[in-house]
Amino acid sequence: NDESDWELGDLGADGQLIDATPVPVVAIVGRPNVGKSTLVNRILGRREAVVEDIPGVTRDRVSYAASWSGRRFTVVDTGGWEPDAKGLQQAVATQAEYAMQTADAIVLVVDGTVGATSTDEAVARVLRRSKTPVVLVANKIDSERAEADVATLWSLGLGEPFPVSAAHGRGAGDLLDVILNMLPSTPREAPALGGPRRVALVGKPNVGKSSLLNKLAGAERSVVDNVAGTTVDPVDELIELGGETWQFVDTAGLRRKVRTASGHEYYASLRTRAALDAAEVAILLIDASEPITEQDLRVLSMIIESGRALVIAFNKWDLVDEDRRYQLDKEIDRDLARVPWARRVNISASTGRAVQKLVPALDGALESWDKRIPTGRLNNWLKEVIAATPPPLRGGRQPRVMFATQAATRPPTFVLFTTGFLEAGYRRFLERRLREEFNFDGSPVRINVRVRD
C-alpha cells in the first residue's frame, strides 16, 4: 500500500494528532553495491550503518522519516530489490519505474570510481523519461582528487553528476540542499479526480461577464445539474462546452450585482480574488470597444499573482471597427506586454460570435499549466542554450548554470542551480527560449534561481 507516503505527525499534549500532512518522498535507486544504504544512513544521520558488505543479500525495501533544514521528507531505500531471474538490468530498471510512479524526487546513485556501467546506462535510459526530478550522484568520491573522474558521467544524460562520499560525508550536505530544492513545496498531489476543470470569468464591471455566462449556458441549453462523483459548490455552475463539462466558479457572485456607487469596485475585487483562488484557469474579459483601462490592468495583475492559466477574451467585438481595431493593437502592445503568452480570442457575448473558440483556448492553456518537462530533456536543452549564449559576466566572473529541474506544475515552476547571480535580462531570455522549446502558451512560467556557494 501507499502508507509510506504518509508520515504520522507528532502527538499533542492531549494525544491528538497535530500534524498528519503527507511529506514528500525521495527514492534512492541504483545497482547493488554502489552505496545506496550508506547514503541513506548518511541522510538519516545514523552512524551505525545497516550496510551489508556481501552483495546479493536481500533486504526489504524500507522507508525512513528524515529531515533536513527543518523540512521533513521520506527516504525510500530500494537497496533490497535484488536481481531475479530476469537479470540485474531488468531489476534496476523496475526500481526506477517504481520510483517514477511514487516519488517526488529520485536519486540515482552510481559508483563514481567505476564510471557508468551498462546497468547504470539502462537505468538512466528509464529515468530520462521521468516526470519526477532526478539527481545523479557519483558516490565513493572520497577525495577532491577523485572528483575529476565524475565528468564522464555526463554521458548518462541526467545532467551534472553530483560527487559525494556517503561513507565519509563529503558533499552530503550540499546534496541534501539540492534534493530539498527539487521537492515540490507542497507534497505530491492526490491523483486528479477527473472532475471538471475550474474556470473563473473575471473582468471589470460591465465588460459582459454575465452576458457571456448566459450565452455559454444558454447556447447549448446545457447547464449541467450534477456530474456523477463530483460535489459542486452551490455558487458554481457546471456548463457543457465542446463536449466537456466545465465548472465556472463563483457564478452566483457574478450574477449578484453590487451596484452601490461606493464599494462596488472593492466587492468586485474581492469576488475576483476568491474566484481566482478557486479556479485553474481565468478568462479575462476586456471590452474591445473601449480603451483598455487601469481597472483592466488591476484585474490582470491579480491573475498574474494567482499563477493561474489565462485566456484573454476581447468582448463586444461586434462594436469594433477598423479604427478601433488599430487603436486596440497599440493598446495591447503597450498594456499587455507582460503576458505575451496569454491566449487571445475576439468574441461577442451578445451575438455569440466566436464564443466556441474559448474551448480550445482553455484546453491549450490548461495543458501548458499542467505540463512537466523531464529533467533529462530540460538539461539537454539548457546545455545547448547556455553553450550558445552564456550568462553575462558579473564582477568579472562567469556564473555557471549547473542544472535545472522543474520543481512544480500548475503553474510550471523551474529551479536553476547556478554558481552566481543571473541578471533579470538573462532570466527573461531563458524563459523566452524555454517557451519556444516546450510551448507553455496560456500559462505563466516561474523560474527560480538558486545560487550554490
- In the complex, the residues that contact ligand GDP under the rule CB under 6 A are 32-38, 51-53, 79, 139-140, 142, 165-167, 203, 205-211, 315-316, 318-319, 348-350
Nearer to ligand GDP, 37 or 74 (CB): 37
Beta bridge partners of residue 77, listed in sequence order: 28, 62
Task: Kindly provide the residue ranges of all beta strands, DSSP E only, lying in 141-276, ordered along the sequence.
Answer: 162-163, 197-202, 223-224, 237-241, 244-248
Nearer to ligand GDP, 210 or 380 (CB): 210
* DSSP class of 342: S
Annotated binding-site residue? 360: no
Nearer to ligand GDP, 79 or 159 (CB): 79
Annotated binding-site residue? 209: yes
Annotated binding-site residue? 78: yes
- Residue for grid cell 499549466: 369
Nearer to ligand GDP, 327 or 418 (CB): 327
Q: How far is CA 76 from CA 64, 200, 276, in A?
A: 6, 40, 37
Strands 162-163 and 446-451: unpaired
Shortest Cβ 243–ligand GDP spacing (Å): 24
Nearer to ligand GDP, 32 or 374 (CB): 32
Shortest Cβ 203–ligand GDP spacing (Å): 6
Q: How many CB atoms are located within 10 Å of the residue 224 CB? A: 16
Residue 417 CB contacts under 8 Å (≥ 6 apart), including other chains: 178, 181, 401, 402, 403, 404, 450, 452
Shortest Cβ 79–ligand GDP spacing (Å): 4
Shortest Cβ 106–ligand GDP spacing (Å): 15
Q: How many CB atoms are located within 10 Å of the residue 184 CB? A: 17
Annotated binding-site residue? 198: no
Shortest Cβ 289–ligand GDP spacing (Å): 7
Annotated binding-site residue? 115: no
Annotated binding-site residue? 346: no
Shortest Cβ 427–ligand GDP spacing (Å): 36
Q: Tell me how far apart the terminal alpha carbons of the chain are, to the nearest angstrom.
A: 40
CA distance 54 to 58: 10
Nearer to ligand GDP, 37 or 375 (CB): 37
Annotated binding-site residue? 439: no
Q: How many residues does the chain have?
A: 453
Q: Which residues are annotated as a binding site?
A: 30-37, 77-81, 139-142, 203-210, 250-254, 315-318
Q: Which residues are annotated as a binding site for GTP?
A: 30-37, 77-81, 139-142, 203-210, 250-254, 315-318
